Amino acid sequence: MSIAGEQQHAVTMPATTPLTADELADEALAPAALEIDVLAAEEAAPALSAVRSQTYLSLVGRRFRRNTMGMAGAVLVGLVLLATIFASFLSPYDPTMRNRDAVDAPPQALHFFADDDGFHLIPYTHPLTIEMDPTTFKLNSTEDASRRCAPSLFGRGWAYTLFGISLDRHLLAAPPLDCPWNILGTDRNGRDVLSRLLVGSQLTMLMAAIVVSISVTIGALVGIVSGYFGGIADHWIQRGVEFILALPEIPFYFALVAIIPRNSDPFHVLLLLCAILSALRWAQLAREVRGKTLAIAHLDYVAAAEAVGAGAPRIVVRHILPNVMSHVVVSTTLMIPSVILIESFLSFLGLGVQPPLISWGLLLNAGKDLQNLGSYPWVMSPVVAILIAVMSFNMLGDGLRDAIDPYQH
């Protein structure tokens, strides 16, 4: 019995094969590999949580910083705004001061090096002597190298007001009138073009800011109301928007500006011009915001807010407005250059800003005479400032538009 039982037990025992050397090594390394995987997962956990915790604004900012043109536009816009805010501080001359001895003077060359004393941190100019060629009647200018005209760094000059404070310090205070420093020349009244260009940027940018602020506010509100409430209100609002969009823009500007009395105060003319431009530029934004509001109003979180009893003002302010603000910001940056161009165009034709106010378009008005333009081409220097401002805002707007949807790629 015992022998049979042992034989039966021997039959039922599973057969085992000896492990090879490689299998023994794998079993010995398995706990260590598992521990390494656990440590790697623990080290990667903070990075994964950091990626998941990024907000929408951080994603937009990261994508915008990778856009070279957008960053270049942001830098240029910052420089333009700084030059506009501190225009009086940067202007060497009073933009209204006339110099009879320097009428239509050409731009003076800047000199940084002198033969006797080497490099000059503050560039200087030489006075110009202008003579007419008796044969061609062309004005020729020659430098008087025996004299140097150098501005003084942070020197005293003409008085101005900055942030409500009366100041007379300038980055580069102009030298005496008998030794001019007109690096962009002068106009037909002997006024410094550079100073007028810097000070004129304030009125141009102020007008653009007023028009864009009014247009964006009206367009965003009308678009949200039309898209969220719908019904008969949406129907009639859209008919009004279509009427505004159907108006021919440039001829309508001419017609409205022409009815402004020419003997009106220049400041009143500026306000009326801002009102006219604002009245015609909000409709396109209103239609775009309405389309986005229609899409957002049917999303689940808006339906959930309505289900828990949230009122229409709360839903608009907390749910709809934040989701359309990205589009509004992009539209704002793209609307500013168009307003600058419209103001410059109307003022160039004499229908916009009126003297004694100064704007870029009004400065261009001096170059509408082809004879003056051929003889004094430096009066068209505001074109360069307008191009820089328009291109910088366009590049900034394009960069924001590309970065506004960080999930598109």
CATH of the domain at 375: 1.10.3720.10
Choice between 43 and 184, residue whose per-residue pLDDT is larger? 184
Largest CA distance in the chain: 145
| Most confident range, picked from 137-146, 199-208, 268-277 | 199-208
Does residue 349 fall inside a structural domain?
yes
Residues 257 and 276: beta-carbon distance below 8 Å = yes
Confidence bin at 17 (pLDDT 50/70/90): low
261 & 142 share domain: no
Q: Are residues 356 and 217 in the same domain?
A: yes
Average of per-residue pLDDT across 240-248: 90
Same domain, yes or no: 114 and 75: no
Counting residues of the chain whose pLDDT is more than 90, the rounded percentage is 34
Q: How many distinct helices (H) and strands (E) make up the chain?
A: 16, 8
pLDDT digits (tens, 9 = 90+) for 259-308: 777 778 888 888 888 988 898 889 999 999 999 898 888 888 888 888 88
Q: Is 387 exposed, middle or buried (0-12, 13-18, 19+ CB in 10 A)?
A: exposed
Span 139-161, average pLDDT = 87
Segments of 133-246 assigned E as strands? 139-143, 152-153, 156-162, 165-169, 172-173
> With contact defined as beta carbons under 8 Å apart, do 186 and 99 qualify?
yes
Residue 235 lies in a domain: yes
* pTM for the model: 0.80
Mean pLDDT of 187-196: 91
Q: Supply the pLDDT for residue 6.
A: 46
Measure the CA–CA gap between 333 and 335, rounded to whole angstroms.
6
Residues 313, 221, single domain; the answer is yes
Domain boundary among 181, 206, 221: 181
β-bridge mates for residue 131, sequence order = 140
* Domain end residue (candidates: 181, 211, 239): 181
pLDDT at position 7: 46
Both 177 and 209 in one domain: the answer is: no
**Whole-number pLDDT of residue 75:** 95
User: In sequence order, what DSSP letters do the residues of 218-264 get, joined into one string?
Assistant: HHHHHHHHHHHH-HHHHHHHHHHHHHHHHS-HHHHHHHHHHTS-TTS
Could you tell me if residue 60 is inside a domain?
Answer: no
Average pLDDT over residues 218-246: 91
Range of the domain at 161: 108-181
Rounded CA separation 385/193 (Å): 12
Give 96-137 pLDDT, tens digit per residue: 999 888 888 889 889 898 877 888 889 999 888 877 777 776
Q: Do 271 and 134 belong to one domain?
A: no
Q: Would you say residue 283 lies in a domain?
A: yes
Backbone φ, ψ for residue 132 (5° rounding): -100, 130
236 and 380 fall within a common domain? yes
Predicted pLDDT at 43? 55
Is residue 408 in a domain? no
Last residue of a domain, one of 146, 181, 216: 181
Amino acid 274 reads C
**pLDDT above 70: percentage of residues in the chain:** 84
Q: What is the mean pLDDT of residues 6-10?
A: 45
Task: Give CA–CA dist 225/240, Å, rounded.
Answer: 14
> How many domains is the chain partitioned into structurally?
2
Cβ-contact 287, 222 below 8 angstroms:
no
Q: Does the pLDDT of residue 167 top 90, yes or no?
A: yes
pLDDT for position 391: 94
Instruction: Name the burial class of residue 360, with classes exposed (0-12), middle (13-18) and buried (19+) by CB atoms within 10 angstroms of its CB.
Output: buried
Q: What are phi and psi of 142, to 5 degrees?
A: -130, 145
* Pick from 143, 140, 141, 115: nearest CA to 127: 143
What pLDDT sits at residue 239? 92
Cβ within 8 Å of residue 203, ≥6 positions away: 270, 353, 357, 358, 359
pLDDT digits (tens, 9 = 90+) for 310-325: 888 888 888 888 888 8
Q: Flag whether 239 is in a domain.
A: yes
Query: Is 95 among the domain residues?
Result: no
3 vs 379 pLDDT, higher one: 379
Picking from 350, 387, 385, the residue whose alpha carbon sits closest to that of residue 366 is 350
Residue 33's pLDDT is: 47
Instruction: Give yes or no for residue 72 having a pLDDT over 50.
Output: yes
Amino acid in the structure at residue 383: V
Residues 125 and 224 in one domain: no
Query: Domain for residue 37, yes or no?
Result: no
Check whether residue 132 and residue 262 sit in a common domain.
no
Q: Clarify whether residues 262 and 125 are in a common domain.
A: no
**Same domain for 393 and 326:** yes
For residue 12, pLDDT beyond 70: no
CA–CA gap between residue 111 and residue 124 (Å, rounded):
5
Residue type, 325: M
For the chain, give the mean pLDDT.
82
Q: Report pLDDT for 52.
A: 55
259 and 397 both lie in a single domain: yes
Q: Is residue 391 within 8 Å of residue 44, measured between CB atoms?
A: no
